[in-house]
């Protein structure tokens, strides 16, 4: 099928090369990233639905929305010194990205506030970092707080370009004394984008479209590194479509995936384990004969690979229809350990399901790129991307270094700039087998008894 949304090129590969070469010739700033992410103005950026209504927004329309509210943001933040960080506290929505870019375009860095942290932790961060302004979708803070409704008012004044903010700061999950702030520059994001291009070249399945389109479900919180980089940055740079569910009810998500013909879903292991358990219960309710038949077919699919997917398309169609349908092209899990049974289940019913790895401090650094089921079913996180290095320390911890890491890490108001030649200890226990890495848990999850 011919693709009509790759800047007129005849293949995705040529389009990717065009975008990366153009980026390489530009300054590695958020200004450049913004220009390139909104280059294909006619492509559909966002799809959403509520009830019977179905809404589509192009990249060109969304860019105009951002630029129309940027003067409003600049006026609201007139007392905030140019270049200083502004807090962004919002749950996922179709307006999230507009507010994010408007803050940067108004000349401020963005502190993306983790909406799942307590008020005590959030207020402590604002105090430690001397943040004086927050834009929020509801919650009020002790500092000057503007609501999203105030921000989303188009300005009568024309947008006047100015240098964008220089940092995007993420909050790690943690307690009051452990939460970290990880600041990424435009250059850090540049290398993350280069790594995403390598994935496309080395893993053909990740670029597969359905009916000429690639649609990413926005399920992970955009306030997390995994959600922002793997979901938005990787795919937004190449102007793919984002589908926003109206809520996170499982039935709503399932209907949204089918109605919008979503192709890519990224989620944490807990989500996939719940989906796997629920599906297994439904199959078990059909009786022992059905279970034996299902197990026989999925084992054959996992053993035969692409041929198995083709042969099992009809026998397993009812199972896939009970989950996400047939538009799905790529599923990723990441963030913690996942059972091999869950991985084999999703790959066995004809989907392509892989494991990935990343942290707030280092960004997204690897994903299993193999197309072979016997490899992806091992739950490997793959090998590090081109601009990242892995090493296993003497204590079994994964050590990471590379330019995709956060430029600096702040904790308790103290900033520590990153030396990209030094190894960062992830505290995650890993092993390496034949060039592939396997997640075995976190060191702080271990309990050491008297006998060792």
The predicted-structure confidence for 259-268, as pLDDT tens digits, reads as follows 999 999 999 9
Contact 179, 223 (CB under 8 A): no
- For residue 175, the model assigns a pLDDT of 53
- For residue 235, the model assigns a pLDDT of 97
Portion of the chain with pLDDT greater than 70, in percent: 96
13, burial (CB in 10 Å: exposed 0-12, middle 13-18, buried 19+) = middle
Q: For the full predicted model, state whether its pTM sits above 0.85.
A: yes
- For residue 2, the model assigns a pLDDT of 56
287-291, 301-305, 441-445: least confident range = 441-445
Q: Which residue has the tokens 């921000």?
A: 151
- For residue 299, the model assigns a pLDDT of 93
C-alpha distance across the termini of the chain, in Å: 59
Instruction: State the average pLDDT over residues 97-101.
Output: 98
Contacts with 321 (C-beta within 8 Å, 6 or more apart), sequence order:
none
The beta-carbon contacts of 397-401 under 8 Å, at least 24 apart in sequence, are: 397/425, 397/426, 397/427, 397/428, 397/429, 397/430, 397/443, 398/426, 398/428, 398/429, 398/430, 398/437, 399/423, 399/424, 399/425, 399/426, 400/362, 400/365, 400/424, 400/426
What mean pLDDT, rounded, does the chain reach?
A: 93
Instruction: State the average pLDDT over residues 219-235.
Output: 96
pLDDT tens digits for 367-384?
999 999 999 999 999 999
Confidence category of residue 64, pLDDT binned at 50, 70, 90? very high
Instruction: State the average pLDDT over residues 74-87.
Output: 96
pLDDT tens digits for 113-139?
999 999 999 999 999 999 999 999 999
């Amino acid at each position: 099928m011919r693709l009509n949304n790759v800047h007129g090129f005849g293949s995705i590969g040529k389009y990717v090369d065009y975008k990366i070469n153009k980026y390489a010739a530009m300054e590695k700033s958020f200004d450049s990233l913004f220009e390139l992410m909104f280059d294909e103005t006619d492509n559909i950026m966002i799809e959403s639905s509520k009830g019977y209504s179905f809404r589509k927004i192009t990249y060109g329309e969304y860019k105009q929305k951002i630029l129309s509210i940027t003067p409003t943001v600049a006026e609201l933040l007139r007392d905030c010194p140019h270049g200083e960080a502004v807090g962004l506290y919002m749950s996922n929505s179709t307006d999230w990205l507009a507010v994010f870019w408007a803050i940067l375009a108004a000349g401020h860095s963005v502190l993306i506030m983790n909406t799942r942290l307590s008020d005590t932790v959030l207020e402590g961060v604002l105090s430690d970092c001397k943040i004086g302004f927050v834009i929020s979708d509801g919650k009020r803070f002790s500092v000057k707080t503007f609501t999203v409704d105030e921000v989303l008012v188009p300005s009568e004044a024309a947008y006047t370009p100015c240098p964008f903010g220089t940092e995007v700061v993420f909050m790690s999950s943690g307690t009051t004394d452990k939460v970290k702030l990880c600041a990424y520059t435009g250059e850090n994001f540049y290398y993350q984008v280069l790594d995403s291009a390598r994935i496309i070249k080395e893993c053909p399945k990740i670029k597969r479209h359905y009916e000429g389109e690639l649609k990413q479900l926005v399920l992970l919180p955009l306030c997390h590194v995994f959600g922002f980089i793997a979901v938005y940055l990787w795919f937004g740079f190449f102007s793919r479509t984002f589908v926003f569910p109206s809520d996170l009810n499982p039935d709503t998500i399932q209907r949204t995936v089918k109605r919008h013909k979503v192709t890519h879903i990224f989620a944490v292991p807990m989500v996939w384990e719940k989906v796997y358990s629920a599906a297994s219960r439904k199959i078990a309710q059909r009786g022992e004969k059905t279970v034996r038949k299902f197990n026989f077919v999925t084992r054959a699919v996992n053993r035969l690979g692409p041929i198995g997917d083709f042969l099992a398309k009809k026998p397993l169609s009812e199972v896939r229809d009970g989950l996400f349908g047939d538009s799905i092209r790529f599923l990723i899990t990441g963030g913690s350990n996942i059972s091999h049974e869950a991985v084999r289940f999703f790959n066995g019913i004809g989907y392509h399901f892989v494991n990935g790895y990343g942290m707030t401090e280092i960004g997204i650094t690897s994903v299993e790129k193999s197309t072979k089921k016997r490899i992806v079913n091992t739950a490997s996180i793959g090998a590090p991307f081109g601009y990242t290095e892995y090493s296993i320390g003497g204590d079994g911890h994964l050590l990471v270094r590379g330019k995709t890491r956060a430029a600096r890490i702040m904790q308790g108001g103290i900033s520590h700039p990153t030396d990209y030649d030094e190894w960062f200890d992830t505290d995650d226990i890993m092993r390496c087998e034949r060039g592939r890495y396997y997640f075995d848990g976190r060191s702080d999850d271990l309990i050491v008894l008297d006998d060792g």
